[in-house]
Amino acid sequence: MMTPVAPAPLAPRWTLLGLDPCRAGRTTRARLRLENHGGATWRSTEHGGLRLSYHWLDPRGNPIVWDGARAVFPEPVAPGASVELTVDVSVPRAPGRLRLCFDLVEEFHFWCSEVGADVLEHDTDILPGIEERRLGVVIHGGETTETIAALARLDEPLVTEDAVAVAHLVAGCAPDPGWSRLVLDAHEEGWAAVGPALVPAGGWRDRRAGARLLAPWAPGGRNPRFDYPLLLPSLVVGLEPGETDGLPSYTGEGGLFEGGAVVRLGRAQASA
């Protein structure tokens, strides 16, 4: 006579009911059904207990993002019961193909996959962060011949309608030709705001105080953790700039300092 084997305490069974399109750097939504095939009731709160989460993995299973946002079960899920959840999922800034892996986590103790519980993996195409490469511009303070001439030399011309991102410049400044291409590249990666490097009108030998204050915005590498406001930013449609020292600026989430995208300022911005 065989002795019945008790079910494992944690044994989820997963069904992915739907996943909205995933754009780099954005938030999407997933709909899931989970069945409790284990021997323990699932209980969670806003601050602990068993909760639903996810990982983002590359095609070989290496983690890109391990600690996904948590979702709470609305009520205890007893053995044999099921629950359906709609959860927000933050998409990495990595267009291409990744694996979305749903997992349960006993907060402050362990991931359930680490103790043998099943996960749900779904190969996912990460779309570019913007639908099209269409960059518009607002020139604060009015148009000047220097700025208009510089905009005409851009690698990727600006659009006047249906822009997906808008760059906020000032009268007298002159973006380098590669500025628009690099800005759009960064938006495609999923950055909501892209700040260029700035060059004073007299170059970096300019001794005036206004020029010296611009040193943190000198051309160079990329920095997603820039300690200063992004000046003359390009913002995805829906975001609006603030102001710092008379220049359009951005200090919110999702910003990148792109030190290779250069805007040369006019005399008025370096005269302080």
> Which of 7-11, 108-112, 142-146, 217-221 is the least confident region?
7-11
Q: 134, 159 in Cβ contact below 8 A?
A: yes
For residue 184, pLDDT over 50 is answered with yes
Q: According to the CATH classification, is domain 12-127 in 2.60.40.10?
A: yes
Neighbour tally for 8: CB within 10 Å: 13
Amino acid 216: pLDDT: 94
- Going by pLDDT thresholds of 50, 70 and 90, the confidence category of residue 67 is very high
Euclidean distance between CA atoms 271 and 202, whole angstroms: 10
Amino acid 197: pLDDT: 97
Question: Is this model's pTM higher than 0.85 or not?
Answer: yes
For residue 91, pLDDT over 90 is answered with yes
For residue 272, pLDDT over 50 is answered with no
Euclidean distance between CA atoms 5 and 23, whole angstroms: 45
Across 183-208, average pLDDT: 85
**Which pLDDT tens digit goes with each residue over 117-156?**
999 999 999 999 999 999 999 999 988 899 999 999 999 9
Phi-psi region of 166 (alpha: psi -120 to 50; beta: other; left: phi over 0): beta
Amino acid 5: pLDDT: 46
**Which pLDDT tens digit goes with each residue over 19-39?**
999 999 999 999 999 999 999
Across 158-186, average pLDDT: 97
Across 58-79, average pLDDT: 94
Amino acid 73: pLDDT: 95
Neighbour tally for 125: CB within 10 Å: 10
For residue 223, pLDDT over 70 is answered with yes
Amino acid 40: pLDDT: 92
**Which pLDDT tens digit goes with each residue over 155-164?**
999 999 999 9
Across 65-82, average pLDDT: 95
More confident residue, 188 or 209: 188
Q: What is the mean pLDDT of the chain?
A: 91
Amino acid 206: pLDDT: 53
For residue 244, pLDDT over 90 is answered with yes
181 membership: H or E segment, kind and range? helix 179-189
Domain extent listing, the chain? 12-127, 135-270
For residue 267, pLDDT over 70 is answered with no
- Going by pLDDT thresholds of 50, 70 and 90, the confidence category of residue 208 is low
For residue 211, pLDDT over 70 is answered with no
Closest to 141 in 3D by CA, of 252, 258, 243:
243
Q: Where are the beta strands (DSSP E) in the chain?
A: 12-19, 22-23, 27-36, 50-57, 63-65, 82-90, 96-106, 110-111, 120-127, 135-140, 165-170, 174-175, 193-199, 222-223, 230-231, 234-236, 242-244, 247-250, 255-264
Cα 27–Cα 33–Cα 35 angle in degrees, nearest 5: 140
| CA gyration radius, the chain | 25
- Going by pLDDT thresholds of 50, 70 and 90, the confidence category of residue 168 is very high
